């Protein structure tokens, strides 16, 4: 049994945060207590910890893993505690399948499959025709029929 910290840093205010997970809830909470992270920051299966707390966790025995490896740890946790797969697990499964079947990652294919215009920065609704004026609504004082 182990505690793990990943290498994916996400900004939160002025801090950079990463994920801390473990093979069991007992180990995870014990490590949080050891490095001074309050239990109120527990997020169903992990803690988000800042870089300084990550360093303390590593010194206390946490294993450094990649962001891909942490998904596998999370998958084991969720299975152990009867939780549904997370969005990151579903995305990782999709990307692994694409990588295996196509011989390389096709993120653009995934982006299109969830309805976004690849490269445009706009959602799928941007491609729909827009009326110049909304249809008249009964009771609308600006309606031409009023």
Q: CA-CA distance, 41 to 43, in Å (whole number)?
A: 6
Residue 44 predicted with pLDDT over 80: yes
- What is the tens place of the pLDDT at every residue in 69-120? 888 888 888 888 888 777 767 777 777 766 555 555 444 444 444 444 344 4
Residue 143 predicted with pLDDT over 60: no
The residues pairing with 16 across neighbouring beta strands, listed in sequence order, are: 11
pLDDT bin (cut points 50, 70, 90) of residue 124 is very low
Can you say how many angstroms the Cα of residue 71 is from the centroid of all Cα atoms in its chain? Answer: 10
Which backbone phi and psi does 64 adopt, to 5 degrees? -80, 130
Q: What is the pLDDT of residue 135?
A: 53
Q: CA-CA distance, 136 to 46, in Å (whole number)?
A: 51
CB of 14 within 8 A of CB of 3? no
Q: Where are the domains of the chain?
A: 3-73, 85-118
List, in sequence order, every beta strand (DSSP E) within the chain: 3-5, 10-12, 15-22, 47-50, 63-64
């Amino acid at each position: 049994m182990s505690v793990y910290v990943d290498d994916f840093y996400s900004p939160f205010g002025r801090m950079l945060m990463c994920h801390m997970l473990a093979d069991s809830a007992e180990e995870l909470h014990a490590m949080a207590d050891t490095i001074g992270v309050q239990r109120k920051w527990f997020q169903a299966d992990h803690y988000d910890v800042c870089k300084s707390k990550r360093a303390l966790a590593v010194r206390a025995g946490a294993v450094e893993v990649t962001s891909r490896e942490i998904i596998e740890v999370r998958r084991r946790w969720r299975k152990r505690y009867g939780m549904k797969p997370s969005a990151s697990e579903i995305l990782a499964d999709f990307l692994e399948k694409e990588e295996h079947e196509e011989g390389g990652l096709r993120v653009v294919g995934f982006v299109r499959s969830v309805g976004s215009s690849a490269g445009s920065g706009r959602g799928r609704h941007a491609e729909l025709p827009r009326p110049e004026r909304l249809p008249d609504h009964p009771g609308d004082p600006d309606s031409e029929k009023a």
